[in-house]
C-alpha cells in the first residue's frame, strides 16, 4: 500500500489539513504501507519555501512522519513529457479563449438556462488557425478532453460514488506559460509513484471523477487506485470552518499552548462514535478505522479540543511537563496546578503566584479578618495539612465558614478568586510570602 499526503505550500496547515494528514498516516502505519509527503508546489505564484518548511515542522510537531518527500517542482520535465503524450493521443488540446470570452459565454449559457459548460469550441480550431494566432503572439493553454462517461468508485468513507463527466467542463491542465496544474500533476505522480490509496477531503470528489479519467488516459489502471474522501469539518454552528481557519492553524494552536496530542486525539475522534481522548498518533492506531467515519460533516468545536487539552494536562506526568515548566518548578508544584490549567504555559502564572509576585486585590472590608489570619499563621514546617489547621483555627476565632472563611485568604495569597487547591498551594507559597501578602492586603 502506498499513500500520500499532498499539501500545497501556499499557507500554513490548519486543523482540516491535519485531519487528512493524520488519516493518511494512521492508514499507512496500520497497514504497513509507505507514506509520501508530496508538496504540490507547481503554482509558483502562491507556493513559498517557508510554508513548505513550516508544513514539515508542523507535521513533525503533531507526531507524524513520512517515508519519502517529493516536491512537484522537481518533476516539471516529467509533467511536460506526460503532456506531450496526451497531446499525441488527442486528449490534450490547445485553447486560446481569454478569460473574458469564457465569462461572456458562461453568461449567455446562464441566460439560456443551460449549465455553464465549456463548449469545446477550441477543438474545432484548424492547425492553420492555430498557427496564425500563434504567429500573432497568442499562446495556447491546454485542456484535457474528458471522456463521455460516468466515473464510479467505491469510496472507503462515502460509499458508492459517481461523477458524470459530460456535466463538467474540460479542465485546463497546462497554463499558457507551460506550468502544469494540480489536477494534472497529482495524477502523473499518483501513477508514477504507484499510489494505491488516496485519502483527502470531500471537496475533491469531482476532481476524483476527472482524475480517474486522466489516470486511464495516461495508461494507468483506475481499479488500482482506492479513494477515501473525508467530509469537511464545519464550525461549532454547522457553518464552513474556513472563516475561522486562521486561528485554527497548527502554528497558532501551538502558540496558544495546545498540546499536539490534544489536537490529534480530538481530530481522530471526529465523525466517529469513539469517545474522543487525547492521544499521540501512535496511540490512536488501535482505534483507527476509516470505514467507521461518518458520511456527514463533523463539527469542529475548539471548546471540546480545549477540554481534551485539560484532560491531557491533568494526566501528564511531571517528568514530561518539566522541560516546559518554569525553572525550578517541582513535582509538588505540578501536582498542585495541573488540574487547573487549560494550557501548559498557564503554569507560568501559578509559578509567579507561588514563587514570585502577585497583583494584590484590595480587601478593605476584610482588614480585621486578615489581621487575625496573620496573627494565627501556623509555625513552620508547612505541608499539605497546614491550610486545614490554619483555617480551622480561623473558623473558631471568626465564626466564619465556607466562602467567607476561604475566599479572602485565597485572594490575599494568590490575587485570584479561583485556582488550585489552597492545601497544595500554601506550602509552596511558604510562610514568609504568606505573611508579607497578608500584610500587604491590610494596607489601605
Ligand atoms: N494539493 C491538494 C490539496 O491540498 C492535494 C489534494 C490531493 O490529496 O490530491 O488540496
More confident of the two residues 375 and 274: 375
197 lines ligand 1 (CB under 6 A): no
Examine the pLDDT at 223 and tell me if it is beyond 80.
Answer: yes
Instruction: Check: CB of residue 91 under 8 Å from CB of residue 144.
Output: yes
- Grid cell 485556582 is found at 419
Centre of ligand 1 to C-alpha 24, Å, is 12
Residue 84: what pLDDT?
Answer: 98
Handedness of CA 174, 179, 184, 188 (dihedral sign): positive
Centre of ligand 1 to C-alpha 207, Å, is 10
Centre of ligand 1 to C-alpha 90, Å, is 27
Q: Is the overall model pTM greater than 0.75, yes or no?
A: yes
Dihedrals phi, psi of 100, to nearest 5 degrees? -65, -45
Residue 394: what pLDDT?
Answer: 97
Q: What residues form DSSP beta bridges with 69?
A: 37
Half-sphere exposure in the Cβ direction for 290 (13 Å, CA): 26
- Reported as a pLDDT band with limits 50, 70 and 90, residue 238 is confident
Outline where DSSP puts E strands in 89-140: 92-95
Residue 209's closest CA among 153, 170, 160, 156? 153
Residue 383: what pLDDT?
Answer: 97
Q: Grid coordinates in use for 185?
A: 500533476
Handedness of CA 320, 270, 212, 96 (dihedral sign): negative
Name the percent of the chain lying above pLDDT 70: 99
Q: Grid coordinates in use for 274?
A: 469513539
The C-alpha atoms of residue 111 and residue 236 are separated, in whole angstroms, by 38
Residue 145 labelled as part of a binding site? no
261: three-class secondary structure by DSSP: helix
Residue 113: what pLDDT?
Answer: 96
* Nearest atom, ligand 1, residue 198 CA: 8
Average pLDDT of the segment spanning 288-313 = 94
Going by CA atoms, what residue is nearest to atom 4 of ligand 1?
7
Instruction: Check: CB of residue 399 under 8 Å from CB of residue 405.
Output: no
182 lines ligand 1 (CB under 6 A): yes
- Grid cell 465564626 is found at 399
Residue 444: what pLDDT?
Answer: 67
Examine the pLDDT at 336 and tell me if it is beyond 90.
Answer: yes
Average pLDDT of the segment spanning 429-434 = 97
- 69-83, 151-165, 357-371: the lowest-pLDDT one: 357-371
CA 111 to the chain's CA centroid: 41
Centre of ligand 1 to C-alpha 169, Å, is 20
- Grid cell 476565632 is found at 397
14 lines ligand 1 (CB under 6 A): no
183 lines ligand 1 (CB under 6 A): no
Examine the pLDDT at 60 and tell me if it is beyond 90.
Answer: yes
Average pLDDT over the chain, rounded to whole? 96
Residue 362: what pLDDT?
Answer: 85
Average pLDDT of the segment spanning 47-69 = 98
Domain ranges of the chain: 317-444
Centre of ligand 1 to C-alpha 98, Å, is 27
185 lines ligand 1 (CB under 6 A): no
Q: Give, in degrees to the nearest 5, the angle at Cα 122 between 120 and 128.
A: 150
Residue 62's closest CA among 114, 32, 98, 24? 24
271 lines ligand 1 (CB under 6 A): no
Residue 18: what pLDDT?
Answer: 97
Q: Note the CATH number of domain 317-444.
A: 1.10.10.350
Residue 225: what pLDDT?
Answer: 97
- The model's pLDDT over 241-250, given as tens digits with 9 standing for 90+, comes to 876 777 799 9
Average pLDDT of the segment spanning 91-115 = 96
Amino acid at each position: 500500500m502506498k499513500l500520500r499526503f499532498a499539501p500545497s505550500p501556499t499557507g500554513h496547515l490548519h486543523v482540516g489539513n491535519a485531519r487528512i494528514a493524520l488519516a493518511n498516516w494512521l492508514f499507512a502505519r496500520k497497514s504497513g504501507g509507505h507514506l509520501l509527503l508530496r508538496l504540490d508546489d507547481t503554482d509558483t505564484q502562491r507556493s513559498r519555501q517557508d510554508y513548505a518548511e513550516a508544513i514539515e515542522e508542523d507535521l513533525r510537531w503533531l507526531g507524524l512522519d513520512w517515508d519519502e518527500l517529493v516536491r512537484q517542482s522537481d518533476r516539471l520535465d516529467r509533467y511536460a513529457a506526460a503532456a506531450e503524450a496526451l497531446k499525441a493521443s488527442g486528449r490534450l488540446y490547445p485553447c486560446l479563449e481569454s478569460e473574458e470570452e469564457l465569462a461572456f459565454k458562461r453568461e449567455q449559457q446562464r441566460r439560456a438556462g443551460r449549465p455553464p459548460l465549456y463548449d469545446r469550441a477550441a477543438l474545432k480550431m484548424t492547425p492553420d488557425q492555430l498557427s496564425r494566432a500563434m504567429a500573432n503572439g497568442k499562446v495556447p493553454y491546454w485542456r484535457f478532453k474528458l471522456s463521455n462517461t460516468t466515473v464510479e468508485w467505491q469510496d472507503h468513507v462515502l460509499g458508492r460514488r459517481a461523477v458524470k463527466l459530460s456535466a463538467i467542463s474540460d479542465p485546463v491542465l497546462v497554463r499558457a506559460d507551460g506550468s502544469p496544474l494540480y489536477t494534472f500533476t497529482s495524477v502523473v505522480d499518483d501513477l508514477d509513484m504507484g499510489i494505491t490509496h488516496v485519502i483527502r477531503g470531500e471537496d475533491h470528489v469531482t476532481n476524483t471523477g476527472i482524475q480517474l479519467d486522466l489516470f486511464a488516459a495516461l495508461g494507468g489502471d483506475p481499479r488500482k487506485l482506492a479513494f477515501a474522501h473525508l467530509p469537511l469539518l464545519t464550525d461549532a454552528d454547522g457553518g464552513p470552518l474556513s472563516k475561522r481557519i486562521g486561528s485554527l492553524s497548527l502554528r497558532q494552536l501551538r502558540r496558544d499552548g495546545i498540546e499536539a496530542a490534544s489536537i490529534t486525539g480530538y481530530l481522530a475522534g471526529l465523525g466517529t462514535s469513539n469517545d474522543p481522548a487525547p492521544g499521540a498518533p501512535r496511540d490512536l492506531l488501535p482505534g483507527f478505522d476509516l470505514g467507521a467515519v461518518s458520511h456527514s460533516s463533523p463539527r469542529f468545536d475548539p471548546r471540546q479540543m480545549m477540554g481534551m487539552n485539560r484532560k491531557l494536562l491533568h494526566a501528564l506526568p511531571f517528568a514530561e511537563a518539566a522541560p516546559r515548566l518554569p525553572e525550578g518548578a517541582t513535582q509538588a508544584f505540578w501536582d498542585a496546578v495541573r488540574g487547573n490549567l487549560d494550557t501548559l504555559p498557564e503554569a507560568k502564572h501559578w509559578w509567579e503566584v507561588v514563587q514570585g509576585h502577585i497583583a494584590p486585590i484590595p480587601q478593605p472590608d476584610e482588614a480585621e479578618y486578615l489581621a487575625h489570619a496573620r496573627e494565627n499563621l501556623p509555625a513552620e514546617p508547612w505541608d499539605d495539612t497546614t491550610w486545614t489547621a490554619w483555617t480551622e483555627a480561623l473558623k473558631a476565632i471568626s465564626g466564619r465558614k465556607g466562602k467567607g472563611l476561604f475566599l479572602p485568604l485565597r485572594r490575599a495569597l494568590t490575587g485570584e478568586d479561583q485556582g488550585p487547591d489552597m492545601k497544595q498551594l500554601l506550602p509552596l507559597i511558604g510562610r514568609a510570602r504568606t505573611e508579607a501578602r497578608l500584610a500587604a492586603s491590610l494596607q489601605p
